[in-house]
Structure 1
Amino acid sequence: MDKPGQFGLDIHNNYVWGQASPVQYPQEQQPDYRYRVTPEFSYGLTPNVELGLYLPLGTIADRQFRMDGVKARIKYIAPRPANQDWYWGANFEIGAVRPSLDVNPWNAELKGIAGWRHGPWDLAVNANLDWVVSGPHSEAPSLQLATKASYKVSNNLALGVESYNGVGDFHALKTVLSPAGQGHSTFLTADTSLGKWDLNLGIGRGYSGEPDQWIFKFIVSVPIDD
């Protein structure tokens, strides 16, 4: 979280390496052998509220760069005593992307955030509820669970495991979930820093319905307001 009045910048990068994925609709852009970069600008509004803007979503393939959309978010982390290990919060995100990324251009996500930090251990779980705001193809809201466990092996290095698991779709907003379309991916990660620059590195693989094969990702936190 940025401090009140502070600006931040995280640059998200990923590259998918694997076999061609099945095309779900005519305009869909296959992720295989593509490099995607997304600058995420943030601003601390209060000690517990942060605003963010993904601008732009970008894709590089065949030596060509194209802008694929923009998204905005607001994050809340509940206040807690300094000696409290656990925390919770929420994040709301809304944005528009090109049809090459999603058949429905306008989408939103509500993320429930929970975590626990104690000594060298850091555990976190996010419940992500995604739904269509506007578009030609009606879809039920879908749920994904994202988890991370990391252990700080030194003052400047933490090693961990991240997992992203599609639970399914809510049909008619009922609590029954459909297993159709589930996807799962797991990453080995490393968190470190170079001076004031923070780095999150990961290599992972999609399986059980997830079309992406090997995925390389890294996030660079740029100290633009330190």
Structure 2
Amino acid sequence: MRFSRELARASLLAALATVSLNSQAAPDEIQVYTEEMDEPGDFGLELHVNYVPKGRREATYDGEMASNHRLQVTPEFSYGISKTLEAGLYLPVAMSTDGNLYGNGVRLRLKYIAPRADGDHFFWGLNGEFGSSARRVSESALTLEFRPIMGYRDENWLVSFNPILDADLSTNVSRKPNFEPGLKVTHRVGEGKQAGFEYYGEYGPVGHLLQGDARTHYLYGVMDIDLHGFDINFGIGRGFRSAEDQWVAKAIIAFPLN
């Protein structure tokens, strides 16, 4: 089934314009995972950058860095172990409103994508992530994430869904896993260009999900561009319901190392 580009763009703009705002802050990595992997033996480097032009100005716990005007830059180093496995390392850094740079921890991940036959448009896999975080960005020093990956890609469309389970492991906070879904839908709009939206939600603890009005939602209009070997994802997002950040700008730049 073919969809009108004009209709898709109009629907996206309408969604962004009509969401209701209130005041969880944007993380250092704002990304829906797909089937993309480093080839075996290849290294990869992505730079995750996001900035909050309008966010929460007050800390919600002692030692937290407020999100308003916070710039986060996170290099992600990756390595293709095999056709189905990829390892990654994140080194998040943030600049606060005082102009100082702060290291905010380290995270390791392992990503699996199931083998597919040639021409198979559907994909699925799982990403596991373990890390430590500075108190500036999390009350829990240790975190664990399981991110199922399922989706569809053809020459015109990409749809990927990540029903994420995210758990804090420190003793000073609840260890119940939280459900944080992510969805990406884009359509080809030109040679090496895709446009669409990404959605990120925070629905609360599994088994005791928050009521609708208490859930956090972010909706981004995004572009994916292949520019001379650099893969660039750029988006402008708006938070609504209980979101701390009203506006967030984000970019992911994948550098061609091989």
Greater Cα shift, 177-186 or 10-19: 177-186
Residue 135 of structure 1 deviates from its aligned partner by 3.8
Runs of 4+ in structure 1 off by over 6 angstroms are none
Where does residue 197 of structure 1 map in the other structure? 230
Matched, 1:147 2:183: yes
Q: Which deviations, in whole Å up to 9, do the C-alpha atoms of 1:40-74 show, x marking residues without a partner?
A: 000000000000000x2100123321111100000
Task: Give 1:187-226 correspondences, 5 Å limit.
Answer: 187-224=220-257, 226=258
TM-score normalized by structure 1? 0.93
Match of 1:177 in 2: 209
Please say if residues 55 and 247 of structure 2, whose CA atoms lie closer than 8 Å, have aligned partners that are also in contact.
no
Kindly provide the CA deviation profile for residues 56-112 of structure 1, in whole angstroms up to 9, marking residues without a partner as x. 210012332111110000000000111111100000001001111111110010001
Cα offset, 1:118, TM superposition: 2.2
Deviations 1:159-191 (A, max 9, x none): 010001122212xxxx34233852100000001
Q: Please give the alpha-carbon distance, in whole angstroms, between the structure 2 residues aligned to 1:100 and 1:222.
A: 29
Q: Is 1:41 aligned to residue 77 of structure 2?
A: yes
Q: Which has the higher contact order (CA 8 A, sep 6+)?
A: 2
2:42 aligns to what?
Answer: 6
TM-score normalised by the chain length of structure 2: 0.82
Which residue does the alignment assign to 1:162? 198
Shift of 1:119: 2.8
Checking the alignment, whether the CA contact within 8 Å between 1:105 and 1:135 is kept in structure 2 is no
Q: For the Cα contact (< 8 Å) 2:49–2:71, is it kept in 1?
A: yes
Structure 2 portions without partners, runs of 5+: 1-36
**Other structure's SS at 1:177 match:** coil
What is the aligned partner in structure 1 of residue 92 from structure 2?
A: 57
User: Is the helix fraction higher in 1 or 2?
Assistant: 2
Counterparts in 2 of 1:79 and 1:19: CA distance versus 1, 3 Å: closer
Rounded Cα–Cα distance in structure 1 between residues aligned with 2:64 and 2:121: 43
- Tell me, which stretches of 5 or more residues in structure 1 are unaligned? none
What is the number of equivalent residue pairs in this alignment?
A: 220
Tell me how far apart the structure 2 counterparts of residues 125 and 181 of structure 1 sit (CA, whole Å): 22
